[in-house]
């Protein structure tokens, strides 16, 4: 899960805006690579989080 607890500019998780008055407070991360962007879509603050599911 990734959360954007009502931040002003929000957070984008795999292209989905959370926070920033959207009413969406969290979203699930998926297996593989996930992109997190803090703030506007053109923000330089970007993270790649890789979820490795080994069964």
Q: What is the tally of structural domains in the chain?
A: 1
- Residue 49 pLDDT: 96
> Which residues form the domain of 11?
2-51
- The secondary structure element, H or E, covering residue 35 is strand 32-38
Q: Calculate the CA dihedral of residues 29, 35, 41, 45 and round it to 10 degrees.
A: 120
pLDDT, tens digit, 9 for 90 and up, residues 1-55: 666 656 788 999 999 999 888 888 889 999 999 999 998 889 999 999 999 987 6
- Residue 54 pLDDT: 73
């Amino acid at each position: 899960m990734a959360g954007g607890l009502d931040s002003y500019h929000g957070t984008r998780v795999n292209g989905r805006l959370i926070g920033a008055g959207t009413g969406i407070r969290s979203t699930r991360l998926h297996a593989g690579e996930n992109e997190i962007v803090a703030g506007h879509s053109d923000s330089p603050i970007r993270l790649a989080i890789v979820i490795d599911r080994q069964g």
